[in-house]
Amino acid sequence: MKKLLLFLLVGITVASCGDDDMKTPVASVHLNMRAVYDGQPLVMYQAYTYPDGSLVRFQTFNFFISNITLLGEGDTPDAELSEVEFADFSNNTTLAEAETPQAWHFEEVPTGTYRGIQLNIGVPASLNNADAGNLDADHPLRQHFTTHFWSDWKSFIFVKSEGIYDLDGNGEFNGSDQGFEHHPGKDEALTQVTKLMPITLAEGGTFDLNLVADLLKIYVKNGDALDLSDPENSNVQQASDLPLMLYLMGNWEQALSVE
């Protein structure tokens, strides 16, 4: 966002010095995101089938996306749309809610030809500390400081995925099933995702970029699903859980797609 502002500022200054007609032409980018499970709209508290045939259910799914950037092509420089945003699908308890994407509107994006979008899942290292709590009240990192800052690691939790796995296989959920709480978040777990696609922004136009986050795909690597029946895999919160954290974060390139 800052970069974008700078770019605009320079643009405006240049425009005001020179030809009166010269203005930085801009367009709007609407970033829309839906969450799904194996392609189906992700409804919280609804049972889905895990690859091993057991039932699984989620009650929380949210994450930070950061350095959201359109990658410039040719003469068009990269344009950063936003430094940090927060995506939260935890309140989608009906199909209608799950089908309605979360939307971010970025106005005044320089026109041009872009070759794709790049973003990080997580919080950039420069902001990933308690000082982020001092940002403006409406900054996503201040808004979600209490819920997502894990003071023991001095890091934000990048992704929260919480739910329950039908351990006893009786087709319903109860207290003896395996709850899980996957909370990866540490500088080394910041994950970059790149989606290449032609994006042409014409002056005054609006470009809709529709992303889909498939929660199941975070749990699957090379066709193998994480063993949710293993209690060792139920939580990501200790230093020793780093391998599991990196496993979950490493699957985001496939979990996020453009539709």
Partner 1 sequence: MKKLTFLALLALVGMFACKDDDNPKPSDGVDLTNIAYNPTPHELVIPPGFPSMNIPADNPLTEQGIDLGRRLFYDPILSKDSTVSCGSCHGPAGNFTDNKALSPGVGGLLGTRSSMAIINSGFLSKGMFWDGRAPHLEAQALGPVENPVEMAEKWDDVEVKLRNHADYRTRFRKAFGIENSNEITRDLATRAIAQFERTLISANSKYDRKKYQLDPDPFLFSDLETDGLKIYFDDQFGAPGAPVGHCAHCHDGGPLLTSERYENNAITEVASLADFPDKGLGALTGKLTDNGKFKAPSLRNIALSAPYMHDGRFQTLEQVIEHYSSGGHYADNVITGSITNLNLSAYDKQALLAFLNTLTDTTFVNNPAFQNPFH
Would you tell me which residues interact with partner 1 (CB under 8 A)?
A: 44-45, 59-60, 93, 130, 133-137, 142-143, 145-147, 149-152, 162-164, 173-175, 177-181, 183, 234-235, 237-241
Q: Are strands 235-236 and 178-182 parallel, antiparallel or unpaired?
A: parallel
Nearer to partner 1, 143 or 257 (CB): 143
CB of 161 to partner 1, least distance (A): 10
CB of 248 to partner 1, least distance (A): 14
CB of 158 to partner 1, least distance (A): 15
CB of 170 to partner 1, least distance (A): 14
CB of 182 to partner 1, least distance (A): 8
Nearer to partner 1, 171 or 198 (CB): 171
Nearer to partner 1, 40 or 134 (CB): 134
Q: What is the CA radius of gyration of the chain?
A: 20
* Eight-class DSSP state of 123: -
Nearer to partner 1, 34 or 148 (CB): 148
Rounded Cα gap, residues 160 and 12, in angstroms: 41
- Structure tokens, 126: 């420069």
CB contact set of 53 (below 8 Å; sequence gap of 6+): none
Nearer to partner 1, 222 or 240 (CB): 240
69: left (phi over 0), alpha (psi -120 to 50) or beta: beta
Rounded Cα gap, residues 78 and 116, in angstroms: 10
By CB atoms closer than 10 A (0-12, 13-18, 19+), residue 139 is middle
